[in-house]
Amino acid sequence: MTTYVTANPSTGTVEKEFPELTDAEVEGVLARSHAAFTDWRSTDVADRAAILVKIAEAYKERSQELAETIAREMGKPVAQAVGEIKLCGMIYKWYAQHGPDLLAEEVLDPQGAQESIVETVPVGSIVGVMPWNFPYYQVARFVAPNLMVGNTIVLKHAPICAASAALMEEIFHAAGVPTDAYINVYATNDQVATMIADPRVQGISLTGSERAGAAVAEVAGRNLKKAVLELGGSDPFIVLDDDVAGIAKGAAKARLGNCGQACNSPKRMIVPNDKLDEFTRTVVAVFEGAKVGDPTDPDTAVGPLSSVTARDGVVAQVKKAVEQGATLHTGGEAIEGDGAFMQPTVLTGVTKDMDAYHEEIFGPVAVVYGVDSVDEAVELANDSAFGLSGSVWSQDVDRAQEVADRLDVGMAYVNEHGTTLPGLPFGGVKRSGFGRELGRWGMGEFVNTRLRRTAAARG
């Protein structure tokens, strides 16, 4: 039985099934991707850039279709899905505009030779393993720079995103990406491991869970393959100011985005103890006022979680936290009826001896902490196995920057949270993974930074 299905999380109905790749077909995929590399790498850089522009234009033209597809697959409200698709278009255009310059030769100090030059050249076939929570954006982060640089791609998407994966492949090929330079596969985890181990594959990029990242890193390391991993997060949101109401509203809305299913969502809100009650009341009011329901309804703020299994897992985490002594202010329960809906939830009183203190809660749950000092806030923020991003909020920007510089994260923000743009690096430290995507950094992961040094002729 295939695991690649569109199971609408709003209704619980299985709408479509997709056939999995057979073991016998794996060899053909690898051979095709490897063979396509020679022609794709030799395609003029300007032509590759023009193809990326066509991809961006197709995303804009088919925005509604793309948005409705993931609303049915993983439950994202259509308005939020349209925003994701717009960002994807920006990413493809950014690499089309800046990619040629990033691939230009860099002239070094000759250091005793006639010339010393660094070339940025592609390496071959790359495997991408993508998650379901941002089905288009996370593919764009991986695909845009690697197509631009001249690598070929084998893309394995999350099983619940089979339909959107097929749409993307259709768009890429229609824009001019050769059929075998981008291959969408409905593969099993074992088949992905086989691909990574194959000498024709030169690297692996995965966005997903710690468990998936560890499994991929093990296979990649054993086979001496480059890996980029973007894993989980439990991002701190530190408030320094006394005037917290407006900040609390922004934090609450950010936490509810994509039903809380974002690695860089503000999962841990840290505020001064004398403002804890006010901040918590405001977050509760936003959570209780947010409309939960059909993601195709334009008034819906919070759709279902990706599946009933995912929803039940988050509910269990909340119940465990309460059993261990946390205070539940609102929500905490599954919503009765069809679909994977959950009440938006606010917790306080989570302490270090509770499971919720250490876990990533991947759903519409805000955990608010009170602290007595900035030092305590920073200590709490850094007391996590994760290190994706974090933010600091204050009218005193200089003070906030000093605090942000103390965070053990890959992305530190002041007076904003989780901003992602094509030219900014994205990635974390600690158990949030390694490597970077987007910007010039995303162009530098799967390349051969090759030195060409020429000495004077001897005669």
Please report which confidence band the pLDDT of residue 367 belongs to, taking 50, 70 and 90 as the band edges: very high
The β-bridge relationship of strands 365-371 and 345-348 is parallel
pLDDT of residue 183: 98
Give the integer Cα–Cα distance in Å for 431 and 454. Answer: 43
Rounded-to-5 percentages of helix, strand, coil across the chain = 45, 20, 35
The CATH architecture one would assign to domain 5-231+432-454 is 3-Layer(aba) Sandwich (3.40)
Task: Based on the residue annotation, tell me whether 27 is a catalytic residue of this protein.
Answer: no
Contact 103, 120 (CB under 8 A): yes
Q: Would the pLDDT of 27 be above 80?
A: yes
HSE-CB of 268 using CA atoms within 13 angstroms? 31
Average pLDDT, whole number, for the chain? Answer: 97
In terms of DSSP H, where are the helices of 19-77? 23-42, 45-61, 63-74
Give the integer Cα–Cα distance in Å for 183 and 169. Answer: 7
Contact 230, 426 (CB under 8 A): yes
Backbone torsions φ then ψ of 86, nearest 5 degrees: -60, -45
* pLDDT digit string, tens, across residues 414-431: 999 999 999 999 999 999
Which residue spans of the chain are classified as CATH 3.40.309.10?
236-419
Q: Which two tokens stand for residue 128?
A: 């991408």
* pLDDT digit string, tens, across residues 59-114: 999 999 999 999 999 999 999 999 999 999 999 999 999 999 999 999 999 999 99
pLDDT of residue 2: 82
Task: Based on the residue annotation, tell me whether 263 is a catalytic residue of this protein.
Answer: yes
Percent of the chain with pLDDT over 70: 100
Task: Tell me how long the chain is.
Answer: 459
Q: Would the pLDDT of 358 be above 90?
A: yes
Name the strand (E) or helix (H) holding 97. Answer: helix 78-102
Give the integer Cα–Cα distance in Å for 172 and 152. Answer: 12
Cβ neighbourhood burial of 208 (10 Å; 0-12, 13-18, 19+):
buried
At the topology level, CATH places domain 236-419 in Aldehyde Dehydrogenase; Chain A, domain 2 (3.40.309)
Which residue spans of the chain are classified as CATH 3.40.605.10?
5-231+432-454
Please report which confidence band the pLDDT of residue 456 belongs to, taking 50, 70 and 90 as the band edges: confident
Cα–Cα separations (whole angstroms), residue 314 to 48, 76, 331, 346, 433: 43, 17, 12, 13, 23
HSE-CB of 365 using CA atoms within 13 angstroms? 31
- Of 73, 84, 169, 230, the catalytic one is 230
pLDDT of residue 457: 86
Beta bridge pairs of residue 122: 447
Contact 348, 280 (CB under 8 A): yes
* pLDDT digit string, tens, across residues 127-185: 999 999 999 999 999 999 999 999 999 999 999 999 999 999 999 999 999 999 999 99
The angle formed by the CA atoms of residues 422, 385 and 88, to the nearest 5 degrees, is 15
Please report which confidence band the pLDDT of residue 1 belongs to, taking 50, 70 and 90 as the band edges: low
Nearest to 369 by CA among 276, 284, 244, 243: 276
pLDDT of residue 458: 80
- Of 263, 360, 437, 445, the catalytic one is 263
